């Protein structure tokens, strides 16, 4: 039985979400396990009717009545299905039969009233004799050959007679009328009038979450945010008690989220958007949730900024850089950047570490960032030029040095870098290699058996360079070979 109840609940949820095929499938599976359960046939009849499959709905309604002939809902299902098939007489008889078992049943009374009105409208639209006119008079009044009538509009349900209603039906009827007046006033931005009507609706029917949601919408428009939240919370409480549609409860949670967002309390907004998503997922709520999460992340980033802490981390980075521990220096410079992301010197310092570690792509990115932060930061252009030289991109390196010289024509590092690039343009690779080999320091490095083994390993496995660059002494030798053009790392 637990499985049957589980499937029934699954069908109910699918029906509420207007996933009619899923609902039918769940109820059908439950019926296979418990074929004598009249509620399952009733629910599947409702799902078929919602999907416009009125014949199937009628068959299930009749099965419901067969299993439980005294249950009024079976007759209301049959009436609705017959009405969908335009079988007005069968619908009328179904509602009448159900009222024998429950004479005050609001659904059956309303159904009988609507089907009567629909039948009359349909008969009149087809040219049948009105019920309040003598047949002989009607025949004498008719024109001999009337023109073909235009297709009749679908019949509108007749306005219910208040005097025929129960007390509960009256309350719901008048509450609906007040809500409609409130909606009209709201659209005109006549908020005071709208509030008056929505509150009147609650007096008639305090169990409808919609009225509280509408009052909250008015307070939101008037920027009365605390009152908006209060009304939404009240609506959720009422909705839970009356088992309201989860979409309406999601709407209340989302409105609280929107309100906290207006108050720039993004963490609370996130909480309520998540609650709304747990009730009913919509693209709008999902987008709002993503946007507040981005706001929260930005707030946390800004809250972390502390220039004094950044300076401390930079000093630690400088200390490890001097020791040749470039990896640890990178960690400290990275933390410094988090603490003060607008300081170009920090990116420049980290770029120097990346250069020593032969992580040229990361170093180049840091150079571009520090130049973007301060276009007059000469060190950024010089650092960029050296990295591009190490990557054997002489023309780009020369352009970087040129930018530095535009800012300071007498800068020695920029002048020397620009000169080296110009010379490398004019020399062929063989000449570069010949000049490098004439350098005693280069000769000494290449004669070192350990360095020869390292260079051979680097040739077979380019990733090995990162491991060797952890050793400051080896890193200096590799950088000397890079600058001379003996080796290249891309």
Residues of the chain with CATH 1.25.40.10: 1-126, 207-303
**Is residue 361 packed enough to be buried (19+ CB in 10 Å), middle (13-18) or exposed (0-12)?**
exposed
329-357 per-position pLDDT tens digit: 999 999 999 999 999 999 999 999 999 99
Tokens of 360: 């040229």
* CA-closest candidate to residue 236, choices 191, 264, 276, 200: 276
* CA-closest candidate to residue 219, choices 181, 266, 252, 177: 252
Tokens of 413: 């590092």
Contacts of 355 (CB under 8 A, 6+ apart): 363, 383, 386, 387, 390, 479
Contacts of 344 (CB under 8 A, 6+ apart): 369, 370, 371, 373, 374, 377, 380
> What DSSP designation does 427 have?
S
CATH of 207-303, one of 3.40.50.960, 1.20.58.760, 1.10.10.10, 1.25.40.10: 1.25.40.10
**pLDDT value, residue 104:** 83
Q: Which residue has the tokens 């077979």?
A: 460
Assign 3-class secondary structure to 159-191.
Answer: CCCHHHCCHHHHHHHHHHHHHHHHHHHHHCCCH
Is 1-126 CATH 3.40.50.150? no
State the fold for domain 438-489: 434 Repressor (Amino-terminal Domain) (1.10.260)
Q: What's the pTM?
A: 0.47
**pLDDT value, residue 487:** 67
Handedness of CA 475, 480, 482, 487 (dihedral sign): negative
The tens-digit pLDDT sequence of the chain (490 residues) is 678 888 888 988 988 888 899 999 999 999 988 889 999 999 999 999 998 999 999 999 999 999 999 999 999 999 999 988 988 889 989 988 998 888 888 888 888 888 887 777 766 665 543 444 343 443 444 444 445 555 555 555 556 676 677 888 888 899 999 999 999 999 999 999 999 999 999 999 999 999 999 999 999 999 999 999 999 999 999 999 989 999 999 999 999 999 999 999 999 999 999 999 999 999 999 999 999 999 999 998 899 999 999 999 999 999 999 999 999 999 999 999 999 999 999 999 999 999 999 889 999 999 999 999 999 999 999 999 999 988 888 888 999 999 999 999 999 999 999 998 887 765 556 666 666 677 788 788 888 888 888 887 877 776 776 677 677 778 777 777 776 666 665 5
**pLDDT value, residue 141:** 42
């Amino acid at each position: 039985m637990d499985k049957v109840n589980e499937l029934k609940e699954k069908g109910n949820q699918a029906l509420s979400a207007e996933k009619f095929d899923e609902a039918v499938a769940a109820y059908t599976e439950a019926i296979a396990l418990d074929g004598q359960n009249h509620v399952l046939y009733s629910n599947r009849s409702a799902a078929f009717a919602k999907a416009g499959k009125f014949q199937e709905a009628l068959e299930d309604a009749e099965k419901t009545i067969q299993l439980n002939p005294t249950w009024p809902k079976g007759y209301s299902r049959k009436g609705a299905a017959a009405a969908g098939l335009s079988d007005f007489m069968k619908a009328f008889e179904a509602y009448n039969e159900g009222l024998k078992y429950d004479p005050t049943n609001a659904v059956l009374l309303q159904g009988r009233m609507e089907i009567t009105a629909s039948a009359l409208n349909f008969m009149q639209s087809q040219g049948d004799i009105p019920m309040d006119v003598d047949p002989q008079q009607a025949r004498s009044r008719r024109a001999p050959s009337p023109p073909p009538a235009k297709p009749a509009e679908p019949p509108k349900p007749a306005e219910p007679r208040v005097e025929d209603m129960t007390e509960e039906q009256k309350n719901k009827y008048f509450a609906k009328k007040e809500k409609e007046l409130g909606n009209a006033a709201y659209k005109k931005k006549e908020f005071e009038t709208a509030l008056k009507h929505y509150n009147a609706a609650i007096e008639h029917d305090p169990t409808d979450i919609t009225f509280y949601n509408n009052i909250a919408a008015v307070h939101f428009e008037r920027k009365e945010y605390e009152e908006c939240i209060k009304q939404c919370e009240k609506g959720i409480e009422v909705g839970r008690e009356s088992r309201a549609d989860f979409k309406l409860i999601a709407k209340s949670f989302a409105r609280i989220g929107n309100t906290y967002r207006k108050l720039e309390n993004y963490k609370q907004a996130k909480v309520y958007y998540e609650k709304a998503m747990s009730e009913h997922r919509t693209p709008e709520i999902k987008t709002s949730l993503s946007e507040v999460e981005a706001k929260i992340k930005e707030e946390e980033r800004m809250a972390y900024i502390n220039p004094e802490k950044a300076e401390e981390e930079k000093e630690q980075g400088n200390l490890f850089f001097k020791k040749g521990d470039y990896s640890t220096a990178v960690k400290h410079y990275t933390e410094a950047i988090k603490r003060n992301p607008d300081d170009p010197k920090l990116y420049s310092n980290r770029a120097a570490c990346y250069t020593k570690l032969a992580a040229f792509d990361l170093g180049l990115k840091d150079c571009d960032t520090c130049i973007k932060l301060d276009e007059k930061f000469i060190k950024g252009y010089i650092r960029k030029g050296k990295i591009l030289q190490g990557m054997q991109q002489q023309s780009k390196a020369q352009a970087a040095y040129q930018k530095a010289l535009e800012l300071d024509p007498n800068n020695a590092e920029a002048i020397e870098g620009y000169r080296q690039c110009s010379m490398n343009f004019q020399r062929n690779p063989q000449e570069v290699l010949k000049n490098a080999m004439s350098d005693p320091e280069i000769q000494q490095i290449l004669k070192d058996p350990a360095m020869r083994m390292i260079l051979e390993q680097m040739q077979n496995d380019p990733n090995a360079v990162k491991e060797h660059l952890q050793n400051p002494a080896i890193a200096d030798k590799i950088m000397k070979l890079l600058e001379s053009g003996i080796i290249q790392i891309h």
